[in-house]
Amino acid sequence: MTTLTGSTAADATRPHRRRIIFLDVDGTILEHGSYVAPSTGDAVRAARAAGHLVYLSTGRSAADIHPNVAEIGFDGAVTNSGALVVSGDEVVIDRPLPREATERLLAAMRSRGIRFFLQTRDGVYASDDMAELMRDYAAALEAREAAGGEVRPEDSLVGLAQRTFPPIEEADLGRIDKAVFVSDHEDGLEQLRADLGDRFLVVPGSMPLPGGSNGEINERDTTKGSAIELLLDRLGIDAADAVAVGDSWNDVEMFQVCGVAVAMGNAHPELKALADFVTTDVLDDGIANAFRRLGLI
C-alpha cells in the first residue's frame, strides 16, 4: 500500500486506458449524512466524458440512494451489497435471499433481541424496535439542537432518524436482499456470526452508536466482489481494468477482485492495508484526487 503521493504499479496508472470504476457510497462519495464534496461530481462526470465507466457499488438499497449521489449520474449500480446490479436500464443481477434463508435470518435476530432493517430492491423495512430506536435518536437530536448544541451531518444516523420506514410485516419475504442490524451488546455481531456464519456473511457496520454493535448480513456468496465479477464478464471487461474505491468492511471483496483498490483516507485501517494506495478523506476531495492519481481525469 502507498499513500496518495506514493507510486503504484506502472500498469495501474497508465494513461489513455479505458477503465471501469466502482465507487462505494457512504464514507466514499457521501459523507455520513447528505454532503457530497463538489469535486466528486465533477470528477465522475469528467471520467465518463473521457470514456471510462463509473458504477456505484453500495450496501444501500437501490431505492435508498441519496438524491445528492444519484444526481451525479452513473453508468449503473451494484446495490444491496451485490444482490442487485443494474447496467444502464438493464437489470443484470437480481438475487434475493431464498425465503427459507430470510426466515432463518429473522429467527436468529429476533432470538437475540437484535433490531434490524430488511432491504429489498425497492425499499427498506424496519423492525418495531428499530423504528423505536430511530424515533428516540430523532428526539435526542431535536433536544440537542433546541439546547443550542450542534447536530452535524456526520452524525450519520441523522438522515435515518428523520425518516419513516414501513414495518417488516409489509415486506415480501421472498424478495429480501440483505439485513442491517443493531445490537445493544458488544458481542452482538459475534453472536450472529455463530448463529449464521455457515451460510451468511456478517460484517461490521459503521453506525456511530454509543455502545453495542451493528453490521450487515448477506448470503455468503452475495457480495460486491462476486457481483462485480459477474458484471465484468457480462460487459467483457478484464478485472485488471477495474478500479474499486471504498472505506468499509463490505468493500473487502470488491478490493479483492478489482485490478486496483483505492482506500479513502477515512477508511478502516484494515481496508487501507488491502489497498494499492490511499487517497484523501471523503470531505477532502478523496475521489477527485484518486481519479487524478490514476490518470482518469
235-248 pLDDT, tens digit each: 999 999 999 999 99
pLDDT value at position 150? Answer: 64
- CA dist 125 and 193 (Å) reads 22
Q: What are the grid coordinates assigned to 20, written together? A: 471501469
pLDDT value at position 131? Answer: 86
Q: 209 or 175: whose pLDDT is higher?
A: 175
All CATH 3.40.50.1000 domain ranges of the chain, comma separated, are 2-95+224-293
pLDDT value at position 144? Answer: 66
What's the pTM value of the predicted model, to 2 decimals? 0.88
* CB contact at 8 A, 100 and 112: no
Write the class of the CATH domain 99-219. alpha beta
- Asked if pLDDT for residue 132 goes beyond 50, the answer is yes
All CATH 3.30.1240.10 domain ranges of the chain, comma separated, are 99-219
- CA dist 152 and 30 (Å) reads 14
Quote the strand ranges of the chain, DSSP E.
Answer: 2-3, 20-23, 30-31, 35-36, 53-57, 76-79, 84-87, 90-94, 115-119, 124-126, 178-183, 200-204, 213-219, 242-246, 260-263, 277-278
State the chain's maximal CA–CA distance in angstroms: 57
pLDDT value at position 13? Answer: 47
Q: Write out pLDDT tens, residues 82-113.
A: 999 999 999 999 999 999 999 999 999 999 99
CA separation, residue 220 to residues 26, 58, 168 (Å): 22, 16, 23
pLDDT value at position 164? Answer: 79
Q: Write out pLDDT tens, residues 4-24.
A: 433 344 444 445 689 999 999
Indicate the CATH number of 2-95+224-293 among 3.40.50.300, 3.30.465.10, 3.30.70.270, 3.40.50.1000: 3.40.50.1000
135 pLDDT band, cuts 50/70/90, is confident
Q: What are the grid coordinates assigned to 112, written together? A: 437475540
Q: Write out pLDDT tens, residues 242-271.
A: 999 999 999 999 999 999 999 999 999 999
pLDDT value at position 177? Answer: 98
- Asked if pLDDT for residue 1 goes beyond 50, the answer is yes
Q: What is the chain's mean pLDDT, rounded?
A: 89
Question: 199-230 burial, b for 16+ CB within 10 Å, e for fewer?
Answer: ebbbbebbbebeebbbbbbbbeebbbbbbbbb
pLDDT value at position 160? Answer: 56
Q: Write out pLDDT tens, residues 31-71.
A: 866 789 999 999 999 999 999 999 999 999 999 999 999 99
* CB contact at 8 A, 26 and 58: yes
Q: Write out pLDDT tens, residues 138-177.
A: 677 667 667 776 655 445 454 555 577 899 999 999 999 9
**Unique residue bearing C-alpha cell 444502464:** 88
pLDDT value at position 147? Answer: 74
